[in-house]
Structures are given as structure tokens and as C-alpha cells.
Amino acid sequence: MKKIFFIILIILFSPSIVFSQAKKEKNVNTDPKNVFSRPYDYVNDFEKIMNADQITTLTNTLKAFEKKHLYKITVVTTSTIEPYTSFPDYALELDKYLAVDPKLDPTILIVVSKQLRQIQVQSIDLIRYKLSDNDTQNIITTYAVPEFKKGDYSKGLELAVEQIMNKLKVY
């Protein structure tokens, strides 16, 4: 089971999958305005996997980091990716949707689904020299996944965000 999960993580973070998205025909169901019509903040727990104190703590951490270092990190949990058929497609479209509004536009977007057992990290190209795809994959597999397996999604997200922030502060 661990091998399958690890293989899925490798596939999710493979640049060839992330950047070779097939263009979908627009219809009412895949219009981002219809799919992503909720309000978004630093932490968006639509799957309800964290309690209010955990959300507040993580939100305050992310706000303080953005204020000091000007990198906005947004976390979204979701139980469904409908009408999208792949998690990377969903995360990419959500990132594009958020990028339209300068107040919402994240430097890094972390999308997690406990129900689907998936995690995807989207980042802008300008920070690749600080946080590569390999760095991101290592952070997720080393810090987030072990806590997710224990059922502590808040701790896993907190540790992963902390490591991402440390990488962004280096330079």
C-alpha cells in the first residue's frame, strides 16, 4: 500500500503531467466561475478535516509569513474535484481561478483531499530556484504524508507549510 501511495505521489509531482494538460472544451460544468464560486482565504477547509483552532493557527502563520516575506501560501481541502477528472487538473484550474484576483493570487497553492487521498502543490515559476519540484515532493513525502497516515491532517499541513516557508526564506 505504501508503494502504491508513493508511486501516486511521484506521478502527481511529475512535471510532464503537470505541464501537459489537455485543453478541455468549455461548457457550463467546467467553467471555473461555476466550480470555484466559494470565497477563498489563506486556509479553506471545505472538507472539514481541521477544527476552528487549527484553521486559525495556520491562517495566522500564513498571514504573518506573507506580511514579512511577500509570499502568499493558500491551503484548500476538498472532498471532490467534480467536474474535473484528475486532481492535477483541478488544482491547476483552481490556481488559475485564484490568480485572476490579485488579493487571492497565491504564490503557492496546496490542495489536499483526505477522501481522495491526494495532495497537489502549485507554485509560480518565479520561485522555482528556491523551491523546486523535487524540494516540494520531498517536503510532502517527509513531513505531510506521515502525519496524514496517522490521520492528523492539520499537523501534516502545518509541518509541510513550515518547511515550504523555510525554503522560501533561505535567499
Q: What is the CA radius of gyration of the chain?
A: 15
d(Cα 153, Cα 149) in Å, to the nearest integer?
8
Whole-prediction pTM = 0.77
Domain ranges of the chain: 2-10+41-169
Q: Of 167, 105, 125, 102, whose CA–CA distance to 18 is shortest?
A: 125
* pLDDT tops 70 at residue 26: no
Q: 143: pLDDT confidence band, cut at 50, 70 and 90?
A: very high
CA 96 to chain centre: 13
d(Cα 148, Cα 22) in Å, to the nearest integer?
30
Q: For the domain with range 2-10+41-169, which CATH number is right: 1.10.1060.10, 2.60.40.420, 3.10.310.50, 3.40.50.300? A: 3.10.310.50
For the segment 48-95, what is each residue's pLDDT rounded down to a tens digit? 999 999 999 999 999 999 999 999 999 999 999 989 999 999 999 999
Q: Find all residues with CB under 8 Å of 71, minimum gap 6, and list them.
A: 65, 107, 108, 127, 165, 168
Bond before 102 cis per omega within 30 degrees: no
Asked if 54 and 22 touch (Cβ cutoff 8 Å), the reply is no
